[in-house]
Amino acid sequence: MHCRFQKSKGVDSFRGNWWFWVICTRQARSQTTSVLKNPQFFGMEPSSPSPSQSLQGFEVSGSDLVWSSYMEGLLEAGANLHIGHSVSNIQSNDGSRFPNAVVASSAIPQDNVEILHAKSVGVPIYKRDYWLAKLTEKYNLIAVSGSHGKSTTASMLAYVLKAMGDDLTAIVGAHVPQFPDGSIFYGGGKNFVLEADEYDGCFLGLSPSVAVVTNLDWEHVDIFEDEDAVKSIFRRFLKQIRVGGHLVICGDSQGGRSLLDQIKQDTGLKYSGGVVSNQSSDLWGQGHDYKIITYGFSSFNDWYAESICPNVQGGSDYILCERGRPLAQISLQIPGVHNVLNSLAVIATVLTLIGDKRQSRESIACLKLPLSKFMGVSRRFDLIGTIYGCHIYDDFAHHPTEVRAVLQAARQRFPNKALIVVFQPHTYSRLVALKDDFANALSEADQVVVSAVYAARETNDWNINGKDLAASIIGPPSEYIPCLVNVVDKLALQILRDPHPEIVILTLGAGDVTTVGPKLLHELQTRSQDARH
């Protein structure tokens, strides 16, 4: 299979009829964000793109442990996909041909059978950090990083730039319904928007012209010992910003302020309140040759939002201000104050790319419409369906900060409805490290069901399970139901006892809890039809 693909300027060294093999793992679900663009990479995870255009010009094959919906677009585009890892996968049927290169997820161990076989026949193995560096080195790279909100911010930024006429290339780590190819589009322009993942130091090979940092939090606890370790790797990332580039950072984030304090120590720049002051943000750092732009809710930021209120779309309206000057009213259809922050990051980045301050008002007028039309990314407050007056939503939230954000967004959209949360803890290590924070976040719901832990790549070395979390939630009724099938049965019976409940059901987690919403909707529809007959 040889497709037609205009190769990226960043991979000129890989020409001709190339056959690329990609090894991924379902267990890497929470790790493998933002890693892929060209056909030499294909991910079969929600964190990896599924573009048809990205196969053009290369022969692409790959493997994953289980089938996922994200493989369907690749299959339609002509990729040769395998379920399971095997030596036979990584060679032609007659054994005479091997891939020109193998790209492996960071989660793949070096003793993987496909990696070992590739090495034995001399096929080079690339990790995604190296490949990303090669892929983006000749572009004007806008790297969107942060512990939370990367996918939404990167996709919103790419969507807005595209709507404003920028022929950019973009890759994000989630499926975006408004992207023609799901999580990517490929253009001929100089700008490249990339969701930049901190996991395993993946973003350290990048050299961005603009680095966006949405926030810092203790996440990926299996890799980072504590929050200081997270801050350390982000400090290393900021040193990768190109000379004359820009750092766009949330000045309200405690972790972001910590980074700015570190820059203060390194450069001698003057700060106010732990963030860049209005005067100093126009200066260039000594040893940090990039400009700093801050955003947030506080008025000491360069860009900030005030007068935030819910709108009729279920999202938020706010007044955009620049250094004390109200400039425009912004409307979003996606709910939650966290998405207000994400939109501020987008606005600050777009105006940074434009550069000419005299065009600010004109540019803001141009970006208001695409901001209002942006619908979000998959598994971020996704409406599964409505039945009996019950709204069923699904969300990827698997960290306490994300759980709080989803619950706040749900309260904003449904202020008078009860919130029932089905939460599936993702990995034992995360549950052990953040159990109390999870309990506090989930206590903001009206009812909580905790399922068994989605182990992903881990074994239960800590002797902990979802029952421990359910028992620690103070306030709302909480119970432990390990099996998701039983969760569906329990909720179906509860809803049918009161066929017109004023409730919202939220299924939260990065594992297969995403199957609960569709199954519950189907179960309710089936029982409703049976009752009528």
3-state secondary structure 229-291: HHHHHHHHHHCCCCCCEEEEEECCCHHHHHHHHHHHHHHCCCEECCEECCCHHHCCCCCCCEE
Contact 311, 330 (CB under 8 A): no
Q: 316 has which bridge partners?
A: 310, 332
Range in 188-197, 258-267, 475-484, 491-500 the model is least confident about: 258-267
Alpha carbon 215 to chain centroid distance? 13
Q: 382-387 and 418-423 as β-strands: parallel, antiparallel, unpaired?
A: unpaired
pLDDT at site 24: 57
pLDDT at site 11: 40
Range in 87-91, 463-467, 493-497 the model is least confident about: 87-91
pLDDT at site 34: 29
If we measure between CA atoms, which residue out of 325, 60, 46, 48 comes closest to residue 194? 48
| % the chain with pLDDT above 70 | 80
Banded pLDDT at 82 (limits 50, 70, 90): confident
* CA–CA dist 236, 447 (Å, integer): 42
* CA–CA dist 396, 402 (Å, integer): 8
Q: What is the rounded (10 degree) CA torsion for 462, 463, 466, 472?
A: -80
Encoding tokens for residue 408?
């706040």
Helix axes 428-442, 400-413, angle to 10 degrees: 30
Contact 172, 98 (CB under 8 A): no
Contact 513, 413 (CB under 8 A): no
Alpha carbon 448 to chain centroid distance? 25
Query: For 81-92, what is the mean pLDDT?
Result: 81
pLDDT at 205 exceeding the cut of 50: yes
Q: Class of 9-127 per CATH?
A: alpha beta
**Within 10 A of 498 (CB to CB), how many other CB atoms are there?**
12
* Buried b / exposed e along 404-441 (16+ C-beta atoms within 10 A): bbbbebbbbbbeebebbbbbbbbbbbbbbbbbebbbbb
Domain-wise residue ranges, the chain:
9-127, 139-373, 382-532
Query: For 213-240, what is the mean pLDDT?
Result: 94
* CA–CA dist 359, 65 (Å, integer): 50
508: helix, strand or coil: strand
Q: 292 has which bridge partners?
A: 247
- Domain 382-532 fold is Protein-Tyrosine Phosphatase; Chain A (3.90.190)
Express each pLDDT in 267-286 by its tens digit.
665 544 333 333 444 433 43
- Domain 139-373 fold is UDP-N-acetylmuramoyl-L-alanine:D-glutamate ligase (3.40.1190)
* CA–CA dist 19, 36 (Å, integer): 16
151: helix, strand or coil: helix
pLDDT at 510 exceeding the cut of 60: yes
62: helix, strand or coil: strand
Residue with token string 């922050």: 341
pLDDT at site 21: 59
The model's pTM is 0.85
Residue 140: φ, ψ to 5°: -85, 95
The two domains 139-373 and 382-532 share their CATH topology (first three levels equal): no
Give 222 or 18, the one with higher predicted confidence: 222
Residue with token string 């919202």: 504
pLDDT at site 112: 86
* CA–CA dist 425, 404 (Å, integer): 15
Encoding tokens for residue 208?
């961005």
12 by Cβ neighbours in 10 Å (0-12 / 13-18 / 19+) ranks as: exposed
> Could you give the C-alpha distances from 1 to 17, 23, 104, 174, 328, in angstroms and in order?
10, 18, 21, 26, 51
Contact 173, 151 (CB under 8 A): yes
pLDDT at 16 exceeding the cut of 50: no
What mean pLDDT is reported for the chain? 83
Banded pLDDT at 10 (limits 50, 70, 90): very low
Contact 295, 303 (CB under 8 A): yes
Q: What residues contact 367, with CB distance under 8 A and at least 6 apart?
A: 160, 163, 164, 346, 347, 350
Query: For 199-216, what is the mean pLDDT?
Result: 94
pLDDT at site 421: 99
pLDDT at site 361: 80
